[in-house]
Amino acid sequence: MSAVAVLEKVPLFSQLAPAELQRVVEATRERTYPKNSVILFEDDPGDALYVVAQGQVKVVLIGEDGREVILSVLGPSEFFGEMALIDDEPRSAHVIAMEDSSLIVLRREDFQGILKQSPGIAVALLKELSRRLRRVDEKVGSLVLLDVNGRVAQLLLELADEEGGERITRRLTHHTIAQMIGSSRETVSRTMRELVDRGLIDVSRKDITIKDRAALETAAGRS
Ligand code: CMP
C-alpha cells in the first residue's frame, strides 16, 4: 500500500487537502522492522512520529525483573511516538514489533511544522490523546475494581468496540492478553475457556465472537 493510501486512513491526516497530504508524504520514509525488534526505547530522545502501515506493534513498560506490561497494541493506520515530540521529554515507553511491520516515519521537525500550519491536525491529535487517556482511565479502574474475569471481559468488549461490532479479528495470544491486563497466561486461558463454556463468547482460529454482550458487560462491571 502506498504512503498516501496509509496516511489517508489516519484520522490525524485524513482531513488534509490532497496537495497538503502529498507534502507530508514527501517528508516521510518507510522502514520495516522484523518481529520482536525494538522500534523505540523508553527514555531515548524522541526524533520521529511513526504510523503503522502494516503489522502490529505493542507499547510496553519493562520491569527490572523483565516482566512486561502492555499499555497498548497498535495496528495499521495507528500512530505512536507523538508524546516525546509534543513535550520534549524522553520516550515514555518501549515500542516493539509483534509481527514483521512496516512503518511510515515522519521526522520531528516535519511533524512540528505540519502541526503549526494545520490547526485541524492539532485538534485531531487532541482527540486521539483524549481517547487514549479514556482507555488508560478504564484500565486503571479495571485493575483496581475488577477481578481477572472482569478484566478479560472488559478487554474483549473494548477490542470488539474498536472493530465496531461483535468480532475481534486482531491476533492476540493469551500471553499477550495476560500482559495487557496484569495476569498470567494460565489464568487468562482458564477464564477464556469459562467464557466459552458459559456461552458468552466463541473462539475460532481466526477470531473471537461476542455471543452474549449483556452478560459480558455484567462481568465487566458495566451494568
Ligand atoms: P513517546 O513517548 O514519544 O514514545 C512511546 C509512545 O508510546 C508514546 O509516545 C505514545 O505514542 C505511545 N504510548 C504511550 N503510552 C500509551 C498508551 N497508554 N496508549 C497508547 N499509546 C501509548
Alpha-carbon dihedral 166, 167, 168, 174, rounded to 10 degrees: 90
User: Ligand 1: does its nearest atom lie under 6 Å from the Cβ of 61?
Assistant: no
Instruction: Report how far residue 156's alpha carbon sits from residue 172's, in angstroms, rounded to the nearest whole number.
Output: 11
Rg (CA), the chain: 18
Using CB atoms within 10 Å of the CB of residue 65, give its burial: 0 to 12 exposed, 13 to 18 middle, 19+ buried. exposed
pLDDT at 15: 81
- N-to-C CA span, the chain: 42
Which element (helix H / strand E) includes 85?
A: helix 82-87
What is the spatial order of strands in the sheet that 167-168 belongs to? 167-168, 208-210, 201-203
3-state secondary structure of 93: coil
Whole-number Å distance, alpha carbon 88 to ligand 1 midpoint, is 13
- Nearest-5° Cα angle at 135, 122 to 142: 165
Tell me, what amino acid is at 214?
A: A
> How do residues 56-73 score in pLDDT, each as one tens digit?
999 999 999 989 999 999
Whole-number Å distance, alpha carbon 44 to ligand 1 midpoint, is 13
Instruction: Report how far residue 55's alpha carbon sits from residue 33's, in angstroms, rounded to the nearest whole number.
Output: 9
CB atoms within 10 A of CB 41: 14
pLDDT in tens, the chain (223 residues): 788 888 988 988 888 888 888 888 999 999 999 999 999 999 999 999 999 999 999 999 999 998 999 999 999 999 999 999 999 999 999 999 999 999 999 999 999 998 888 888 889 999 999 999 999 999 999 999 999 999 999 999 999 998 999 999 988 899 999 999 999 999 999 999 999 999 999 999 889 999 999 999 999 988 7
C-alpha cell at 16: 488534509
3-state secondary structure of 134: helix
User: Pocket of ligand 1, candidates 59, 136, 139: which has the most ligand atoms within 8 Å of its Cβ, to mutate?
Assistant: 59
User: Pocket of ligand 1, candidates 86, 132, 181: which has the most ligand atoms within 8 Å of its Cβ, to mutate?
Assistant: 132
User: Ligand 1: does its nearest atom lie under 6 Å from the Cβ of 174?
Assistant: no
User: Pocket of ligand 1, candidates 80, 132, 142, 159: which has the most ligand atoms within 8 Å of its Cβ, to mutate?
Assistant: 80
CB atoms within 10 A of CB 63: 8
Whole-number Å distance, alpha carbon 200 to ligand 1 midpoint, is 32
Distances in Å between the Cα of 112 and the Cα atoms of 47, 52, 160 are: 11, 19, 34
pLDDT at 16: 85
